Amino acid sequence: MTALVDPYADVPPPGHGEEVQTLLSGLLNAADLDQMTFPELTEHVPGLIVEGFTLLVGPPKVGKSWLVGDIACGAASGGRVLAGISVKARHVLLLSLEDSPRRLQSRLRKIMRGQPLPARLDVLTDVNPLVLLATIAEWLQRHDDSAPMVILDTLGKARRQTASNANQYQEDYGFAGTIKTLIDAVPGAALVAVHHTRKQGADDFLDTVSGTQGIAGAADSVIVLSRKRKSDEGILSVTGRDIEENEYGVRTEGGLWSLDGMDILDAAATVNSRREQAGKARLGDRSADALAFVNGRSQTTPSDLAEHLDITGKAAGDLLRELFDRDYIAKRVRGTYEPKTPEIAESPETTGQPDDRPPANSGNSGVSVPGGITDRTTGMTDRVKAILNSKGQPS
């Protein structure tokens, strides 16, 4: 018979008056969890950046440094980010490690459009990689009561060389996890790390993050900035544990980024409008007329379209099948077509959960009291253990 291994054989006995610790000491009953309350999640840039570790990725020379410069100036001044998102003023540390002080000054002055640079914004352009994380930790200690923001441009500047035979996923996850632990130690703080996309494209924007999935997996949120060369139109694709997954249209003019819309909700609608227009541009005139006809009705048959376009039933059927095969319209039943219902992007951890956060364009800036999450906040899975052990108490 095999002897059972004592899991506590190497654990020293507790001293006088000490509570005995077991492997289940952190066990929490769901009924007790249900009664707990937590500080609200801090939104640094409503709809884009919440407390925790955020990756902002994009290809080289797409405008990432201009974008994080806009975020830094907007958050430090308590003004607007992307010329349309109101934010609360807070202390910001911008580590612009690929810039000289002269270049950074020029960029920030242009972003502020002639206004003085914000007093709450601290900058560093040269830090030894061996002490970079320690430098961030020391700055966070100075502002640990004000939910500060740190912007690291770029993530690669904080990375140390690893052994060639190391498990790359484990190395990436451990490295990114260290950054997450650093920022999670300060209530309500956010760290945005600029990173590159890989050269190969991908259907899922999350798969464009350079490196293994360990980096994106350890981050709380990921923002991907995409823009075609010689175009002033871009898209910010956002996903995360504590933020709604969505895409927002943005524009750049002379390096200055802004929402492509009146507010962040309008910018989300812009993305769909662009895709519809691009789709119509790829269609011939007759196909475009057929698509407009289908989208204006609840259902359409080949005979309906044939009468509208004054063509044969066979030609109408071929047009409808082509539009369906190219994913422009949906098919209700055989021979009957209908408009394609827009997909509502939802994070796997927020699907089916109520969203009672204030809208991004409301009078409230959307930035809450510095802290963590509430009993109403969705997507808090990865944080439950650490927060409950340190702060949560049954009400």
pLDDT of residue 365: 38
- Cβ-based neighbour number of residue 19 at 10 Å: 7
Q: Where are the alpha helices (DSSP H) in 3-158?
A: 30-35, 64-77, 101-111, 132-142
Q: Are 305 and 338 in contact (CB under 8 A)?
A: no
C-beta separation of 81 from 71 below 8 A: yes
Q: Residue for token digits 């944080």? A: 383
Alpha helices in 143-263 (DSSP H): 168-184, 213-218
Predicted pLDDT at 200: 56
pTM for the whole structure: 0.68
- Tokens 């871009």 locate to 234
Instruction: Quote the pLDDT of residue 384.
Output: 39
CA distance 264 to 268: 6
CATH number of 283-339: 1.10.10.10
The DSSP code sequence of 136-151 is HHHHHHHTTTS--EEE
Q: Where in the chain is the domain with CATH 1.10.10.10?
A: 283-339
Residue 392: C-alpha distances to residues 284, 374, 385 (Å)? 60, 10, 10
Closest CA to 57 of 235, 251, 224: 224
pLDDT of residue 80: 97
Question: Which regions of the chain carry the CATH code 3.40.50.300?
Answer: 43-268
CA 392 to chain centre: 26
Task: Locate 369 and state its tokens.
Answer: 């009291």
Tell me which fold the domain 43-268 belongs to. Answer: Rossmann fold (3.40.50)
* pLDDT reported for residue 370: 35
Q: How many CA atoms are closer than 13 Å to the CA of 218, on its beta-carbon side?
A: 22
pLDDT at 211: 57
How confident is the model at residue 170, as a pLDDT? Answer: 84
Q: Which residues contact 146 (CB under 8 A, 6 or more apart)?
A: 90, 91, 370
Residuewise pLDDT in 10s, the chain (395 residues): 555 555 545 656 655 555 667 889 889 999 999 999 999 999 999 999 999 999 999 988 999 999 999 999 999 999 999 999 999 999 999 999 999 999 999 999 999 999 999 999 999 999 999 999 999 999 999 999 999 999 999 898 887 666 555 677 888 888 889 999 999 999 999 999 999 875 555 555 555 555 567 788 889 999 999 998 889 999 999 999 999 999 999 999 999 999 999 999 999 999 988 887 877 676 677 888 889 899 999 999 999 999 999 899 999 999 999 899 888 899 988 889 999 875 444 443 444 444 443 333 334 433 333 333 344 434 434 443 444 444 444 43
pLDDT of 287 reads 86
* Structure tokens belonging to residue 379: 């997507």
